[in-house]
Amino acid sequence: MFGLNNVWDVIIVGSGIAGLYTALNVDENSRTLVITKSDIKESNSYNAQGGIAAAIGEDDGPDIHFRDTIVAGDGLCNPEAVKILVYNAPSIVEELIRLGVEFDRDKSGKLELGREGAHSKRRVLHSRGDSTGKAIMEVLIRHILEREIPVRDQTMVLELIIDDHICKGVLVWDKKREMIYPLYSKAVILATGGMGQVYPFTTNPSVACGDGLVVAYNAGAELCDMEFVQFHPTVLRHPSAPSLLITESIRGEGGILRNIYGERFVPKYHEMGELAPRDVVSRIITEEMERTNSDYVYLDITHLSKEFILSHFPMIYNECLKYGIDITKDYIPVAPGAHYMMGGIRTNLKGETCIKGLYACGECAGTGIHGANRMASNSLLEGLVFGKIIAQEVSSYVLNNGDISILDIEAIEKKVCKEGSLKEFRVKMQNLMWRYCGIRREEKGLKILLEELEKMQQDVKNMPVNNFQDVETKNMLLLSRLIAESALERKESRGAHFRIDYPYRDDIYWQKHIIKKKG
Ligand code: SIN
């Protein structure tokens, strides 16, 4: 068929840290293909500023990292998954160093450990300050290229190929070849990352649309904990700048939040001040913005030395400077934005979903590690620790599962039109999600939202998709509905899910997970 190799042992969808680290750990004799919707460098992982949490400090230990993660997760973490995460963290850091990642060190050569919200110890490793994601991903990409693991970019997954409840490959739209065609494999690993684009304000890149969750859901996999969306308190809010995360490490190093009158306000609301949990700080900022009738507050690090700022936050310094903000002298205008999806495709501790041959890894997976609220810098770690476990699991699955089944699915020519037809639906959905299913939620608004989303889904149902953005928009309308339904169902406040009409945590009725399955 058109000269393309379309039969593989393992197909990995997504080129963030979970996808690439899994690819590097799959048995070398397996024929592995990575596919990615955009460019290999386009991912949340590549942009990550936060680092990797690992309990390697003298006063720290995995048991303390475990306890902090469980507390942040607000009663919904899977303790077994958390144990795997925290106990494997120190060895994963060593492996990264062996691969060539240069973590930041102090003057004596010791690994430097940063502090972030909800961590009771300094335990966050960075590389090149706030460019940690880029520094790690460059090393992983180098190894992918050296090992000649094929990566097919500009290729979007439209459906999973399921036969007799077993996943046997993926149907893709390949932009370069202008074709929709099947790729067959013994196993598929979804590592498609987050879905921040469901909201108008987000730290996520434009590719983060939750495509993996949609194809898994449509194929019969379970999604869990969809109501738990984490909002990051500090995203650059400037009329001409794109949404840029302003890392929590800045507050970890003493950054102060001020209202538009220059007054510090967080300690008035919470005893932990700027280092209170993210969801709490996001709500406090929202209230302060309303009180002062402003759509931003300020983050102030002008009291830190220029040398410290330039060595720890060089990327933020340079990016802000492009918009006339010199962070060594000026306050940074910030507001909350969608950041991370705690829920995802439900998996067991080996990354297996309820569909044989289908695995999920990283942000798109619902392993239960993060519970109702993820602790900072646990997510790159999750992609690495579980990427390795899943790679080992899949390697033996592939060995023990004979031939690849080829179903008779025809390839069709499909050009990408420049203009998407569904753009206005996307913008409307994002604004409605922000208004009714954002940082604060309540029954009345959620019901309005669900009605609107259902109408929009009906409207777009038979509309043609002209480009990847149109597919994403249809996908995100479905995901928004699942988030809103789960948020309506959970009649309590817990972790990142805050209900104005049910402001307290209710362990009697709600210490449980909401699971969504098609039909
Ligand atoms: C941050 O640097 O603030 C984000 C880190 C994370 O979310 O893990």
Query: Within 10 A of 255 (CB to CB), how many other CB atoms are there?
Result: 24
Q: Which domains are assigned to the chain?
A: 234-337 (3.90.700.10), 421-514 (1.20.58.100)
CA 516/CA 511 separation, integer angstroms: 17
**List of residues 6+ apart from 235 with CB closer than 8 A:** 201, 202, 203, 243, 244, 245, 246, 334, 335, 336, 337
DSSP string of 229-274? Answer: EEEEEEEE--TTSPP-B--THHHHTT-EEE-TTS-B-HHHH-TTGG
Q: Amino acid identity, residue 99? A: L
What residue's CA is closest to ligand 1, atom 4? Answer: 50
395 three-state secondary structure: helix
Backbone angles phi, psi at 210, to 5 degrees: 70, 25
Pocket of ligand 1 contains residue 44 by CB under 6 Å: no
Residue with the two structure tokens 């335990």: 123
- CA 337 to centroid of ligand 1, rounded, Å: 12
**pLDDT per residue as tens, the chain (519 positions):** 444 689 999 999 999 999 999 999 999 999 999 999 999 988 888 988 889 999 999 999 999 999 999 999 999 999 999 999 999 999 999 999 999 999 999 999 999 999 887 889 999 999 999 999 999 999 999 999 999 999 999 999 999 999 999 999 999 999 999 999 999 999 999 999 999 999 999 999 999 999 999 999 999 999 999 999 999 999 999 999 988 999 988 998 999 999 999 999 999 999 989 988 888 999 999 999 999 999 999 999 999 999 999 999 999 999 999 999 999 999 999 999 999 999 999 999 999 999 999 999 999 999 999 999 999 999 999 999 999 999 999 999 999 987 788 888 889 999 888 777 899 999 999 999 999 999 999 999 999 999 999 999 999 999 999 999 999 999 999 999 999 999 999 999 999 999 999 999 999 999 999 999 998
Q: Is 278 an annotated catalytic residue?
A: yes
Q: Which element (helix H / strand E) includes 136?
A: helix 132-146
What is the structure's pLDDT at 2? 44
Global confidence as pTM: 0.95
CA 305/CA 323 separation, integer angstroms: 21
User: Would you say 376 and 114 are in contact if contact means Cβ atoms under 8 Å apart?
Assistant: no
User: Ligand 1: which of 123, 247, 341 to mutate, judged by most atoms within 8 Å of the beta carbon?
Assistant: 247
What is the structure's pLDDT at 3? 47
Torsion of Cα atoms, 182 then 186 then 191 then 195, to 10°: 50
- CA 377 to centroid of ligand 1, rounded, Å: 6
Catalytic residue among 152, 177, 251, 278: 278
Query: Within 10 A of 29 (CB to CB), how many other CB atoms are there?
Result: 10
β-strand partners of 52: 125
- CA 49 to centroid of ligand 1, rounded, Å: 6
What is the structure's pLDDT at 452? 98
User: Would you say 269 and 283 are in contact if contact means Cβ atoms under 8 Å apart?
Assistant: no
Work out the angle between the directed axes of helices 211-218 and 468-489 (0-180°, nearest 10). 70
